[in-house]
């Protein structure tokens, strides 16, 4: 009997064939044939998958977080887990920008580059960073759900779960309903993921048909600088963190986690990746639901190491293109603002480039520079999103093990 191929392998094959197909179509097929493909096949197929996983994000985060917060039971412990994960998120992000800056100062990606500014570009206004914190508290939780405001949903769901615990026995039936609703959401993910191979193929080949390789050439040095630091962050920082802080085998982690990485790569969205990330953490990495239901959605919203890396490299790159020398002090400001800016970045495609405005503004680099890197941002976005969500799962594993709640049998299986 033939063995059935695992979903993970199918997704990987879809990724590779999608890239190859995109490259071939871009190079050899006529524009009208490509337009036909994109319009009639790739866009609809990609959107079916994308909408399918986005469909579960809000109800899944709500139900799983209420049930997770309620199952922790002990409020002190919730606070301790929260403190640990937030420290991990902030420290790894600051480390990521620091590595990005050191590397950018070594390779000077923007030196000798004279690029004309596209005149029609207008940089978006960056939000005031204090607002990011204050706005975490919803004034109307239903509105937060409707709009998909992740931080607000997280705050409300935690309070809901904690309150259920405080009420105790009398709220048990409500908790049961929420737990069952949560199980149903997880089932939906399983169903939607059956379309993942087709969705991944369509999303990837569409981007490559549209972008081609040509647009990348002038900015190759910028792209490679970012890719190199992203790789360093994953292999060195996360690898070492898993080994030293998590006391687990990093290879096992990556072997099980890469389906989630492929989903992040093809969707460019941390938010859209939440359902698969939760599923993999709980079922394959042995993380308890009580911890992951809190740390993964939170991480998808605030922990963006890949985005911070892009912002660091982009700041140096744009400064160099404009012939601006950055002092040590300015670079320290970049570390601080890129960390904050990445926290404020939403887990949706292209959000990081908007927040880059905040970083540039702080050190007086012309915002028009964003237009230069914008042309290649789609590809960079795909790669940095992979790092963004990997950081969340690594932190979740580490915190779970530090709480002695990581199921090592499942992790090592």
Binding site for ligand ASP (CB under 6 A): 268-270, 304, 307, 345, 347-352, 381, 384-385, 388
Residue closer to ligand ASP, measured from CB, 127 or 141:
127
Q: d(Cα 148, Cα 158) in Å, to the nearest integer?
A: 16
Q: How far is the CB of 375 from ligand ASP (least distance, A)?
A: 15
At closest approach, how far in Å is the CB of 92 from ligand ASP? 14
Q: Give the nearer residue to ligand ASP in terms of CB position, either 155 or 351.
A: 351
**Residue closer to ligand ASP, measured from CB, 8 or 346:** 346
Helix residue ranges per DSSP H, 73-111: 75-107
Nearest to ligand ASP of 8, 389 (CB atom):
389
Q: What is the crossing angle of helices 75-107 and 43-72, to 10°?
A: 140
Cβ proximity of 76 and 219 under 8 Å: no
Closest separation in Å from C-beta 254 to ligand ASP: 19
Q: Shortest approach of ligand ASP to residue 230 CB, angstroms?
A: 12
Closer by beta carbon to ligand ASP, 288 or else 347: 347
Q: Which CB atom, from 164 or from 315, has the smaller least distance to ligand ASP?
A: 315
**C-beta pairs of 120-128 under 8 Å, 24+ apart in sequence:** 121/368, 121/370, 121/371, 121/374, 123/357, 123/367, 123/368, 123/370, 123/371, 124/354, 124/357, 125/357, 126/341, 126/354, 126/355, 126/357, 126/358, 126/361, 127/344, 127/358
d(CA 162, CA 167): 9
Least CB distance to ligand ASP at residue 269 (A): 4
Q: Which residues 6+ apart lie within 8 Å of 34 measured at CB? A: 25, 26, 209
Q: Which is nearer to ligand ASP, 66 or 304 (by Cβ)?
A: 304
- Smallest separation (angstroms) from ligand ASP to the CB of 304: 5
Cα separation, 274 vs 278, whole angstroms? 6
Minimum Å gap between C-beta 164 and ligand ASP is 30
- CA distance to 79, 295, 383, per residue, from 228 (Å): 36, 27, 11
Q: Are 274 and 189 in contact (CB under 8 A)?
A: no
309 neighbors 226 (Cβ within 8 angstroms): yes
Q: What is the CA radius of gyration of the chain?
A: 21
Q: Whats the size of the chain, residue-wise?
A: 413
The beta-strand segments (E) located in 134-233 are: none
Beta carbon nearer to ligand ASP, 258 or 411: 258
**What is the SS3 assignment for 365?**
coil
Q: Measured from the CB of residue 386, what is the shortest distance to ligand ASP in angstroms?
A: 9
Name the residue number minimizing CB distance to ligand ASP: 352
Q: Which is nearer to ligand ASP, 250 or 344 (CB)?
A: 344
242/354 with CB nearer ligand ASP? 354
Q: What is the DSSP letter of 168?
A: G
Whether residue 113 contacts residue 320, with contact meaning beta carbons closer than 8 Å, is answered with: yes
Residues whose CB falls within 8 Å of the CB of residue 55, separated by 6 or more in sequence, listed in order: 188, 192
Token pair in block for residue 386: 């992979």
CB of 382 to ligand ASP, least distance (A): 8
The CB-of-300 to ligand ASP minimum distance in angstroms stands at 7
By beta-carbon proximity to ligand ASP, the closer residue of 98 and 385 is: 385
Shortest Å, Cβ 351 to ligand ASP: 4
């Amino acid at each position: 009997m033939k063995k059935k191929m695992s979903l993970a392998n199918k997704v990987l094959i879809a990724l590779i064939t999608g890239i190859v197909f995109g490259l071939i179509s871009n190079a050899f097929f006529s524009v009208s044939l490509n337009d036909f493909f994109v319009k009639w096949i790739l866009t609809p197929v990609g959107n079916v998958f994308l909408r399918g996983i986005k469909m579960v994000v809000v109800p899944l985060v709500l139900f799983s977080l209420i049930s997770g917060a309620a199952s922790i039971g002990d409020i002190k412990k919730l606070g301790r887990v929260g403190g640990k994960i937030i420290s991990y998120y902030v420290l790894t992000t600051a480390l990521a920008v620091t590595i990005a800056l050191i590397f950018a100062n070594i390779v000077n990606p923007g030196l000798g580059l004279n690029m004309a500014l596209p005149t029609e570009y207008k940089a978006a206004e960056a939000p005031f960073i204090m607002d990011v914190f204050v706005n975490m508290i919803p004034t109307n939780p239903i509105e937060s759900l409707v709009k998909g405001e992740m931080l607000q949903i997280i705050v409300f769901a935690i309070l809901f779960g904690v309150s259920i615990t405080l009420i105790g026995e009398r709220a048990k039936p409500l908790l049961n309903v929420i737990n069952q609703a949560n199980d149903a959401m997880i089932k939906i993910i399983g169903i939607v993921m059956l379309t993942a191979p087709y969705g991944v193929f369509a999303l990837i080949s569409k981007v490559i048909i549209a972008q081609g390789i040509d647009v990348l050439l002038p900015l190759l040095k910028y792209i490679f600088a970012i890719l190199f630091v992203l790789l360093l962050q994953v292999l060195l920082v996360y690898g070492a963190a898993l080994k030293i802080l998590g006391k687990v085998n990093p290879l096992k982690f990556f072997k099980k986690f890469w389906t989630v990485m492929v989903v992040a790569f093809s969707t460019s969205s941390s938010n859209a990746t939440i359902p698969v990330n939760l599923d993999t953490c709980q079922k394959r990495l042995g993380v308890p639901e009580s911890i992951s239901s809190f740390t993964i959605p939170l991480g998808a919203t605030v922990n963006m190491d890949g985005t911070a890396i892009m912002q660091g490299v982009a700041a140096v790159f744009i400064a160099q293109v404009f012939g601006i020398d950055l002092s040590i002090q300015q670079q320290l400001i970049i570390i601080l603002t890129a960390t904050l800016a990445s926290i404020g970045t939403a887990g949706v495609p292209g959000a990081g480039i908007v927040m880059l405005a905040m970083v540039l503004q702080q050190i007086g680099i012309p915002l028009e520079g964003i237009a230069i890197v914008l042309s290649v941002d789609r590809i960079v976005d795909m790669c940095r999103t992979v790092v963004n969500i990997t950081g969340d799962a690594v932190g979740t594993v580490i915190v779970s093990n530090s709480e002695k709640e990581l199921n090592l049998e499942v992790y090592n299986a």
